[in-house]
Structures are given as structure tokens and as C-alpha cells.
Structure 1
Amino acid sequence: TGIDIVENQRIQQSYDKFGEKFLNRIFTEREIDYCMKKKDFIPCLAARFAAKEATIKAYYQAFQEKINYKNVEILGKNREPAEILLHHDANHTKTFSLSFSISHEKNYSVAVVIIHTA
């Protein structure tokens, strides 16, 4: 299980200071495209940042392997739940599935991820 909460203003500050460099270091092209189409894109980015952190934590707990931000992709779907894609050559042989939830409001974004192993 992994959980993360992020203050949206922290993501705003990173974006204001580093711009595209920040976006490209943390997010995939599809994540950037999805969020930047929104009128208020910071909560969208912040929720994905929290989901990536929560996934990284859960993945390490389940498999004792580190993955990075770009290995985790949160795909948005308009009016449908988002989905997590992992882009990682795993060193483990366990079959697993992910359950997760993300949410954001004016000041904070939060995510929880559970990895179910067989």
C-alpha cells in the first residue's frame, strides 16, 4: 500500500521555477498533454504526482524494487476513472494488479495505491 498527499502550491512553484524541465522530468508526454488542456492544470498535475509517489511506495513494499516517476504513467479519461500504466522491466516474477484512487481539491491532492500480488 502506498499513499501520498501533495500541496498543489508546491507543484505550482516547481512549474513556475523550472517549467518544461520540471514537467519532462516527472511526467510522460501523455500526462502533460492531458493536464495542460485543462483550464486549471495544476491540480491535475498534482494528483498525478501524488499517484506516482503512492505507486512508487507500494511497488517497493511489494517487490523491494525502486521505480522512478517516468516508469509510472497515470492516464486520464474524461469522466471515467484514471488508470495506472507501469513502464518497467521488472526483476520479479509475481503476478499483480493495482487498485488506486486519486482526488484533488483547491489546496491538496491525494492518492492511495494498493498492489495485489498472487
Structure 2
Amino acid sequence: MDNVQVVAGKTFWFAVYTLDFGSGSPTVQVYDNGQCIGSTIPGAGPQDPLQNYSYINWQPTTAGTHTITAKQGMSSKSITMTVQSAPPGSTPDPQPSNPGCGSGGAPSTGSFGS
């Protein structure tokens, strides 16, 4: 991810990969600085159902450091990214629509702690 420039207000997608195999894998919840941005089920999307990855869209609303964490059961993995400020006068992309993280948690469009 060293060459990827993420800009506030622009949609960015990334792959969620698990070691569990196929569409029977548990749901993976994805968080931006601890706040839900959505969930996905690896292998259950339009990709080949024999793969153990899927994609999720993310639109950071603030510039700065963002820690993206994927949680599956008791396991989690995080990456830290630096989000650049949007150019003056730019128009934000429409917010992506991802399934919520469960327990009544709808996807959040913002982030905290950044």
C-alpha cells in the first residue's frame, strides 16, 4: 500500500482475505479507527466462490492517520494508512453502501481519533 494515495471524500476499495475457505467463512467486520465501515463474507460475493477473499469499499471523511482493522471471530488484522486532504473545491464521492457490522451496528461514514 506504499504507492496508494488515499484522499478524504474519495472511495477506496480493498480486498479482505481470510484463511477460512469458501462461502461458509464467518463474516469479517471492518473498522476505521474503531468505527464500523461495513462487513463482508469472503467467498460469498460475485467472485469465484472457491476463493477466500472479497472486497469492501471505504470512504474516509477526514485526513490523517487511519487504522483499518478486519475482525473475524477472535482474530483481527490491522493496517495503518495516511489519508490526504481533499483538494479545495472537490466533490466527495457518494458514500459506499456496505452491510453493517452486526449487533445493530450500521456502517459509519466517519471516523474518530484521527
Task: Say yes or no: TM over 0.5.
Answer: no
With the length of structure 2 as denominator, give the TM-score of the two structures.
0.30
With the length of structure 1 as denominator, give the TM-score of the two structures.
0.30
Q: Name the structure with the higher strand share.
A: 2
